[in-house]
Amino acid sequence: MFDRKVPLDDPPPSYDVSGGVAIPPPSEKTLVKPPPPKLPFPLDLPVLNYLRKNRVILASASPRRRQLLAQIGLTNLEIALSTVPEDLPKSLSPYEYVLKTATQKALNVYEATLDDTSKGDIAILIAADTVVVTPAGTILEKPRSEAQHVASLKELRDYGRHSVVTAVAVLAPLESARDPGYVLETHVEETVVYFDKDVTDDMILAYVKTREGVDKAGGYGIQGIGALLVEKVDGSFENVIGLPLRPTLKLLEKVRRKAEDENLEEDSDLED
């Protein structure tokens, strides 16, 4: 299950958890391929330069999170999925819910991959969890059926606004034997999304039929066709996609710095 490679352009899964039949893409003969875009130079930041040369694990199968990390130059990611059921009680506050879930993912994958050094030592492990929250406090995750999908989007439209809450957990193992053997830092980000109240039932049904939102919290993809449902966003746009980039970069820098300080302190103690 670990080190699973996740293509960036995977089609969304069907509602059938046993797996549906994916619609094949158009034949390459019918597509006119544009010239490849000219990519910008990578960000010349110490933490990113370090991580590009070392083992970075993303504890998520989300192709959107992988794409967002690729935007800041982290493209050589190892994908490892948590085996912990995501079944925390919805009675928790949204902040507690995503924070505990993201932390569980990080620790579970860390423990499962710690002894596998065939690819080198782990430099950084990144985990995240995203939910959509209605003004009534209801936590919406991925839709489990077409009927639920339609109902969720109608609910979001009728409320007019909702929150997208993402927790990010970043972990770095320590070289020393200090308990617990790692540095872990977390961040929770909230973005308010305003749906267009004039979106019709027919529009919602047409969107659901595209299946774009099947594998997304709340049932829509703001970076795709789902943008037609949204009037405006108050806060981080990337957070709605699944990973707030600026806080994530700050966590990477903070964890890397703390791990370096802990290791230097341990080396100093050994010398004494």
Q: Which residues are catalytic?
A: 129
Question: Which residues have C-beta within 8 Å of that of residue 162, sequence separation ≥ 6?
Answer: 132, 133, 134, 135, 140, 156, 192, 193, 195, 218
Q: How far is CA 251 from CA 25, 71, 168, 257, in A?
A: 38, 16, 8, 10
Q: Which two tokens stand for residue 228?
A: 């037609």
Burial class (CB within 10 angstroms; exposed 0-12, middle 13-18, buried 19+) of 113: buried
CB 106 within 8 A of CB 59: yes
CA pair distance 70, 240, nearest whole angstrom: 17
What stretches of 120-229 adopt beta strand conformation (E)? 122-133, 139-140, 161-173, 182-195
